[in-house]
């Protein structure tokens, strides 16, 4: 085991820092003598995201680009991300070298008026900027008014408390990591809201050729979480998705089998195409690709093509 200085770069948001400190503790557990320097930065996305009005901004890239540049310029050894916020297409010199044990990957219903999504009266206002959540909510309840909401978790909760929304949808994992589990009214079943790929997992990114660092990260990698995330990201990669496209994927492991569910939907929720695939856990990547092909062949390709045409016109 080697003793050295490890530089970890992260966003400055409370959730990002909480996740980074979690990774830091894991690293200290395997090497108490390891010296770790945290480098919190404010990304371009943190600074200007609230100014964007268009729907088709590559928001994921805005929040990770500077972290990746720091890795490539050897200013940091690893970067910590919410895996669901990581772009599917990564710089060829960087890898997702590890995944920490996954927290609950599902979505949470948060409200000061109602206990469940089902209780919402007709015309209720729900705050979410996720195309995935909006699509599935409108498919289930076309009577709801889905309104964008921006900012970190604390900011969104503040807006809810100010009465701007009847309810908001947030990731269970983020609320739990910020010690805000008490704000969860209902954990929404994946049969209603299929989560985003990698949701609930903390991703560790490093340089492909940094063998020493990658060997270290391998020691804190949670294999089952990694395989689940790998299958989900493989599904999304084959689709060619972005965070502005209604797509969800969710994998579970049972013994040696991996069960993957995926969906693609139209932005207005009028059409959703779902599918499932089962296979051996060591074929996680292949399972994701095969499920994506099946769903595209079932009619989802038309949804994707229409989305891309709309995106091109808006630019």
Looking at the annotation, which residues are catalytic?
Answer: 85
62-96 burial: b if 16+ Cβ within 10 Å, else e: bbbbbbbebbeeeebbbbbbbbbbbbbebbeebbb
| Residue count of the chain | 315
Phi and psi at residue 57, in whole multiples of 5°? -90, 140
CA-CA-CA-CA torsion sign (184, 60, 278, 276): positive
Interatomic CA distance for residues 285 and 235, integer angstroms: 8
Question: SS in 3 state form for 249-283?
Answer: EEEEEECCEEEEEEEEECCCCCCEEEEEEEEEHHH
CA-CA-CA-CA torsion sign (8, 11, 14, 16): negative
| 27, 285 contact by CB (below 8 A) | no
Give the CA radius of gyration of the chain.
Answer: 19
Upper half-sphere CA count for residue 263 (Cβ side, 13 Å): 24
Residues 171, 252, 283, 77: what is their CA dihedral angle, to the nearest 10 degrees?
Answer: 40
Contacts of 22 (CB under 8 A, 6+ apart): 100, 177, 202
């Amino acid at each position: 085991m080697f003793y050295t200085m490890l530089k970890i770069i992260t966003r400055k948001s409370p959730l990002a820092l909480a996740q980074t400190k979690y990774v830091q503790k894991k690293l200290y557990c395997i090497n108490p003598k390891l010296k770790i320097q945290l480098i919190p930065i404010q990304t371009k996305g943190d600074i200007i995201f609230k100014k964007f009005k268009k729907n088709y901004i590559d928001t994921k890239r805005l929040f990770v680009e500077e972290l990746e540049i720091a890795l490539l310029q050897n200013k940091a050894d690893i970067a910590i991300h919410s895996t669901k916020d990581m772009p599917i297409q990564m710089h060829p010199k960087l890898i997702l070298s590890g995944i920490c044990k996954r927290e609950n990957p599902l979505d949470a219903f948060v409200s000061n008026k109602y206990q469940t999504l089902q209780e919402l009266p007709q015309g209720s206002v729900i705050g979410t900027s996720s195309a995935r959540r909006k699509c599935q909510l409108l498919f289930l309840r076309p009577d709801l008014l889905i309104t964008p909401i921006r900012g970190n978790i604390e900011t969104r909760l503040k807006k809810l408390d100010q009465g701007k929304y009847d309810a908001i949808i947030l990731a269970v994992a983020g609320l739990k990591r910020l010690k805000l589990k008490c704000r969860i009214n209902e954990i929404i079943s994946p049969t209603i809201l299929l989560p985003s790929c990698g949701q609930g997992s903390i991703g560790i990114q490093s340089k492909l050729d940094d063998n020493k660092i990658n060997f270290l990260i391998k020691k804190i990698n949670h294999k089952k979480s990694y395989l689940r995330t790998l299958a989900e990201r493989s599904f999304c990669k084959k689709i060619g998705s972005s965070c502005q496209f209604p797509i969800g994927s969710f994998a579970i492991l049972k013994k040696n089998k991996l069960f993957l569910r995926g969906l693609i939907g139209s932005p207005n929720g009028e059409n959703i195409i779902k599918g499932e695939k089962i296979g051996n856990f060591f074929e996680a990547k292949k399972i994701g690709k095969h499920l994506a092909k099946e769903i595209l062949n079932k009619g989802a390709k038309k949804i994707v093509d229409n989305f891309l045409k709309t995106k091109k016109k808006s630019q």
